[in-house]
Amino acid sequence: MGSASTQPLQVQALRKRVAEFEAQLKERDLGVQRFQDLTSALVDWFWEIDHEGRYTYTSGRVFDLLGYTPEEVLGRRPFDLMDSETAHEVEARFEEIAARRDPIVNLVNWNLGKEGQRVCLLTNGVPILDNDGELRGYRGVDQDITATQENAERLAISEQRLRAVLDTLPDVLLIVDEDGRYLEAHTADHRLLYKPLEEIRGTRIDEIYSPQRAALFLSVVRDAIASGTLQRLEYELDVPLGRRWFEGRCLRIEQTLHGKQAAVFVARDITDRKLAEFDLARSNRDLAQFAAIASHDLREPLRTIGGHLGLLERHLDEHLDEESRELLSTVLEGAQRMNRLVGDLLAFSRVGSTESPLAAVELGDALELARAALRTALDENDATIDSHELPCVWGNEAQLAQLLQNLLANALKFRSADAPKITVSAKAQGEQWIIRVQDNGLGVEVGQQERIFEAFVRAPTKEQRPGSGIGLAICRKIVEHHGGRIWVDSQPGAGSCFVFTLRASPG
């Protein structure tokens, strides 16, 4: 024992040590309280497990995430809060990580809440090691990523569906940015690609094609991006399937991609259609040539017959009785009718078979040409034509004049007892014009309104009317050649209204 003089010093030192120890305990308790306050303030779930994987600590956030109180979770393993299939997969992954004493990094796992709800957690944690380096457990945090994961899964499903749809399309789909770089390429038939997919993605247009072709494609892409309107073009390309024709359509993508504007370019193989068009054009040229030759070879003898019959009639005029005169007149009329028929057949065959350039046409000018061609017949029938302001349309002036001439002639041919009154009017409808030619003639029965546009079909009338039966067939062929349609609205005795459509512009 120490002397009496040293005892107060020892007591004082002991008290100091006790005070320091109490201060350390207080500081530790304060640190624990701070940690608890922080974990309570954060939305994430903090936890600690032992070497058997059982929870030894959990923050109160587990209740907000899964509906369990901390007391209900302590002593349980994380895999107890999952369905059996998920638990098996996650436990196997965790055992691999623990065997290497690695940290847990962004481990996505689906859990089952107390009420059976599915909750997706993102787990991160660090290993707890003793002084000998042995694994004693893990300490970490779980973050609720349910909404993010569900959105990702929905997006993945949408992408799968989109991919399935794209795989069924016969087209080549390309996404190109404003610099002409291919961001994406897809097709169900790789034989339609100029180069393999892996060589197209990330490559610029001018690195793939010749300068001339690259300039063409790039101008289409930039025009689509600048205007925001659909751009079209047709082009040939040598691909593994051989030389093919494509129809390209390009449209701007409203959202920027990687900070740049872009467009989607869809190319469709139209080789079969183009070959059919070439064959049709060749057949039409052959038909036009044949029609011209046939017209000349047929009409020349008819003109000769008509001329000789006229001479014969004048030469024998004094010696012909009434019956002979009627027979000669009948033969002459037959020759003239045959000549008109050949002319109408020639006109019918030429519609769409020759290179007839389309341009902007003032329909009023075409009507004047038709009126001039029928001036004598119009005067003889005391007919009047009322034409409201007519528009500018896209077509061939000569053919449109022929169309109107045939409709005017039809109105004169099937006139009623009243003087013919014909009205020509137009009304805009979208990108086309609706043209109406209204008359006050005999009208057409409902059952005949489709048939009268067929060649050699005439509307039934009490009296025989002159004509070849081709006039309205020519009208339909002209309108269809211009990309429109024609029909008639009529009632017997109430006149007829022939209606047809024409484009306002080339589009």
- What's the 3-state SS for 165-192? HHHHCCCEEEEEECCCEEEEEEECCHHH
Neighbours of 340 (CB within 10 A): 16
The residue to which tokens 């002979």 are assigned: 324
Convert the pLDDT of each residue in 190-220 to its tens digit: 888 888 878 888 899 988 888 998 999 999 9
Helix axes 322-350, 271-315, angle to 10 degrees: 160
Give CA–CA dist 247/194, Å, rounded.
15
Contact yes or no for 268/247 (Cβ under 8 A): yes
Give CA–CA dist 143/108, Å, rounded.
10
Give CA–CA dist 196/198, Å, rounded.
6
Contact yes or no for 206/300 (Cβ under 8 A): no
Residue 398's pLDDT is what? Answer: 87
Convert the pLDDT of each residue in 234-292 to its tens digit: 999 888 988 999 999 999 998 888 889 999 999 999 999 999 988 887 877 777 777 77
Is the predicted pLDDT of residue 315 greater than 90, yes or no? no
Q: What is the dihedral of CA 34, 36, 42, 46, to 10 degrees?
A: 130
Is the predicted pLDDT of residue 392 greater than 80, yes or no? yes
Average pLDDT of every residue of the chain: 84
Give CA–CA dist 456/445, Å, rounded.
17
Give CA–CA dist 229/59, Å, rounded.
58
Q: How many residues does the chain have?
A: 507
Lowest mean per-residue pLDDT among 49-63, 353-367, 392-406:
353-367
CA 493 to centroid of chain Cα atoms: 47
- Any residues with CB less than 8 A from the CB of 162 and at least 6 apart, and which? none
Contact yes or no for 492/445 (Cβ under 8 A): yes
Neighbours of 190 (CB within 10 A): 15
Read off the amino acid at residue 249.
R
C-alpha distances (whole Å) from 476 to each of 31, 296, 382 are 94, 25, 27
Give CA–CA dist 388/428, Å, rounded.
13
Is the predicted pLDDT of residue 8 greater than 70, yes or no? no
Query: 266, 103, 95: which is closest to 176 by C-alpha?
Result: 266
Give CA–CA dist 338/137, Å, rounded.
108
Phi/psi at 501 (nearest 5 deg)?
-115, 145
Report residue 165's pLDDT band, with 50, 70 and 90 as the boundaries.
low
Give CA–CA dist 273/284, Å, rounded.
16
Contact yes or no for 389/362 (Cβ under 8 A): no
- Any residues with CB less than 8 A from the CB of 78 and at least 6 apart, and which? 49, 53, 55, 90, 94, 109, 111
Residue 329's pLDDT is what? Answer: 78
Give CA–CA dist 29/37, Å, rounded.
12
Residue 75's pLDDT is what? Answer: 96
pTM of the model: 0.46
Is the predicted pLDDT of residue 74 greater than 60, yes or no? yes
Give CA–CA dist 218/176, Å, rounded.
9
C-alpha distances (whole Å) from 289 to each of 219, 282, 314 are 40, 11, 37
Paired tokens of 2: 């120490």
Contact yes or no for 220/205 (Cβ under 8 A): no
Give CA–CA dist 47/139, Å, rounded.
6
Report residue 36's pLDDT band, with 50, 70 and 90 as the boundaries.
low
Neighbours of 460 (CB within 10 A): 10
- Any residues with CB less than 8 A from the CB of 299 and at least 6 apart, and which? 339, 342, 343
| Mean per-residue pLDDT, 410-419 | 87
Query: 258, 265, 267: which is closest to 237 by C-alpha?
Result: 267
For residue 353, count CB atoms less than 10 angstroms from its CB and return exposed for 0-12, middle for 13-18, buried for 19 or more.
Answer: buried
DSSP for 380-448 reads: HTT-EEEE----EEEE-HHHHHHHHHHHHHHHHHT--SSPPEEEEEEEEETTEEEEEEE--S----GGG
Residue 418's pLDDT is what? Answer: 87
Convert the pLDDT of each residue in 447-469 to its tens digit: 777 888 887 666 555 555 555 66
Q: Between 294 and 240, where is the model more confident?
A: 240
Tell me the domains of the chain and their CATH numbers. Answer: 29-150 (3.30.450.20), 169-269 (3.30.450.20), 273-355 (1.10.287), 357-503 (3.30.565.10)
Contact yes or no for 285/246 (Cβ under 8 A): no
Give CA–CA dist 198/187, Å, rounded.
12
